[in-house]
Amino acid sequence: MTDVRINPSILAADFANFERELGRIQTADAAHVDIMDNHFVPNLTFGQPMVARLQEVSPIPLDLHLMINNPDHWAPQFAEMGVFSVTFHLEAATAPATLARSVRERGARAGVALRPGTPFNQIEELLEHFDQLLIMTVEPGFGGQKFMPETMPKLRQAREWARKHESEIWLQVDGGVSQDTIGMAAEAGADTFVAGSAVFRGDPADQIAQLRTLAGQHAH
């Protein structure tokens, strides 16, 4: 059975208390950090000084999700900061394979993200260059949106590709993941689950444990 990983998104945390909030999710596998530039998506969040400080105080690894233009310039710089993984959007990158190599060379796992409308065949030929694929299950930009079940066929395609190529790539879902939807995503082939509002709306440790159990029940 595939391992299940739960990565809470700190977009739903208390922005005035990140050190405490990271402590509340220490049973998770990584903290998901949403970087938005107000251009690739209509919202603005954290920059490098913030990531540097989070990296210093976090008890768990940081999983960066770059929702920004020009990742070709920025992703290597974020990778250099010692974070666990850097995921950029395929739609924003000019040279995705080169960029993946550069992220890996700087010691981070390389991830590529697809908006809900971007089909699997646009990444298929390049997927061997990546350690993780992020299939967005909402339009990127905001937390608290509704999970889009219509993205599940894409996840099945990715899982099938990984099986055929005997690939160890992690398949991540992000957006609207909760106790109600995580089973569906696990069943379709996801092994890494980002959840913001579902984790922080209750006791984070309890929510993480519940999500882990539910995902495990449907895992491949």
- Residues involved in catalysis: 34, 174
Please identify which residue in 63, 131, 174, 191 interacts with Zn ion, judged by CB under 5 A: 174
Does 63 participate in binding Zn ion (rule CB under 5 A)?
no
x/- contact string, 138-177, with ligand DX5 (CB under 6 A)? x-xxxxxx----------------------------xxxx
Give DSSP secondary structure letters for 67-131. Answer: E-S-HHHHHHHHHTTT-SEEEEEGGG-SSHHHHHHHHHHTTSEEEEEE-TTS-THHHHTTGGG-S
Does 196 participate in binding ligand DX5 (rule CB under 6 A)?
yes
Task: Quote the CA–CA distance of 220 and 217 in Å, as a whole number.
Answer: 9
Closest approach of Zn ion to the CB of residue 164, in Å: 27
Residues 37-66 that bind ligand DX5 (CB under 6 A): 65
Residues 66-125 that bind ligand DX5 (CB under 6 A): none
Burial class (CB in 10 A: 0-12, 13-18, 19+), 99: buried
Task: Quote the CA–CA distance of 136 and 176 in Å, as a whole number.
Answer: 10
Positions that interact with ligand DX5 (CB under 6 A): 9, 11-12, 32, 34, 65, 138, 140-145, 174-177, 194-198
